[in-house]
A = this chain, B = another copy of it.
Amino acid sequence: MPLNHTDSNVSGELDTSIYHLVDRLFPICRSITGNGVRKTLAVIKEYIPVEIHEVPSGTQVFDWKVPREWNIRDAYIKDSSGKRILDFRENNLHVVSYSVPVHRKLPLQELKTHLHTLPEHPDWVPYRTSYYNEDWGFCLSQNQLSSMRDGEYEVMIDASLEDGHLSYGEFVLPGETEEEILLTTHICHPSLANDNLSGIAVLTHLARYLQRVQRRHTYRFLFIPGTIGSITWLALNEQKRSGIKCGLVVACVGDGGGPTYKCSRHGDAPVDLAARHVLQHCGGEPRVLDFSPYGYDERQFCSPGINLPMGLFERSKYGEFPEYHTSADNLDFVTPEHLLESFHMIRQILEILERNRRYVNRYPMCEPQLGKRGLYDAIGGDKDRARRQMALLWVLNQSDGSHSLLDIAERADLPFEMIDHAASLLEDKGLVELCPDSLPD
């Protein structure tokens, strides 16, 4: 049997283990290149046999070049008494990512042009980067800044920006067919929990789960630095692109918002229809957004020359929760429950892609007699009995070879899982049969 959505053991072991992975990865200082990315991929490798690729700096990838590798060892600001008043070792958000090395003394007035705060959240430290503009800077809370008196300060960033490599992880799970579903997430943010350790942890556990079930599709997982990582992979893997049917970019899946699904550039690709359906029946405050060319790596996957049907799955939309890109996106902001919910919603989307199929009613002249075949008993007597009976009638009525189970679920306004179950019951009783050309759709 394909994806087993009733395996309660799965949830059992997952209850805390997704969050646990977030917790393990939180302290590492990641950027778009460097040892923080390698450490992260090494942790993922403890869970799944991810293959780690290293692409040399300077490699041309479409309109871009793989940048030099950035590594940081230490950084601080000392006051005139020599006391570290800001310390990279306490919080890696304190240094603007990709800062060039610096070590000098300068008055507060001049230093301020290199300092970033969030006046509207005076306790929080912002997250800033300067990948493609050589500069240096520090991030701190507004309260920290307010307590700094005029005078001379010593700033030190012990970092290197040198030719090296861009690192990313790739993991392929072959299925019954070569048709691929691509699942990607970015791994370039430092100590930020929702954006995007949540995405890394959910996809890692989803890969573990998919390892254990029958798969119609092949699944490819990419753990890549944002923007330059997806551009690099797309530029260097033209062959592999052609096998991809659709997929998801996964990010910000540890908070309690949404869920939010942003459609692919196609707008009605199988993954769009499946995600829309799952969101419609998931409770919460689901939002399905039209495609737009801003966001995470779907920007690249959905560029006009690539045009892969890749949607974006999130809980709260990036940029719309106040904790976004601040020190408040921490281990308290994400919870085991929300990570698990996100896991299951993505699993349900994949399950529709796996299990959607078309049937033909073998008794299409009027209704077949369900009672004499025990089907009224088979649907049970619980509060869902009426809906389960409707599911049987809908599958019989619409199974003329042209409607998929997802089409039927949409028209019946019933969850896919219920229609899927009804179809399986009817198939067992010989009332419907699978269309020969129905798999995969």
Q: How far is the CB of A359 from chain B (nearest CB, A)?
A: 11
Q: Which residue of B lies closest to A400 (CB)?
A: B304
A366 touching B303 in the complex, CB below 8 Å, given contacts A292-B390, A393-B293: yes
Quick one: which of A205-228 are within 8 Å of B by CB? Answer: 227
Verify if A394 is at the interface (C-beta below 8 Å from B): yes
Residue among B230, B290, B293, B363 making CB contact with A62, cutoff 8 Å: B363
Stretch at the interface among A13-21, A294-302, A320-328: A294-302
User: Which residues of B sit under 8 angstroms from A371, Cβ to Cβ?
Assistant: 132-133
**Contact (Cβ within 8 A) B294 A62:** no
**Contact (Cβ within 8 A) A63 B366:** yes
Chain copies in the assembled complex = 3
A302 touching B397 in the complex, CB below 8 Å, given contacts A63-B366, A363-B62, A366-B62: yes
A234 touching B365 in the complex, CB below 8 Å, given contacts A293-B394, A397-B293: yes
User: Which residues of B sit under 8 angstroms from A12, Cβ to Cβ?
Assistant: none
Quick one: which of A116-143 are within 8 Å of B by CB? Answer: 132-133
Q: How far is the CB of A142 from chain B (nearest CB, A)?
A: 23
User: Which residues of B sit under 8 angstroms from A305, Cβ to Cβ?
Assistant: 361, 363-366
B interface footprint on A357-383 (CB within 8 Å = 1, 0 otherwise): 000010111111101100000000000
The complex places the Cα of A412 from the Cα of B306 at a distance, in Å, of: 20
Task: Tell me the A residues contacting B by CB distance below 8 Å.
Answer: 62-64, 132-133, 227, 230-231, 234-235, 265, 290, 292-294, 299-300, 302-306, 361, 363-369, 371-372, 390, 393-394, 396-400, 411-412
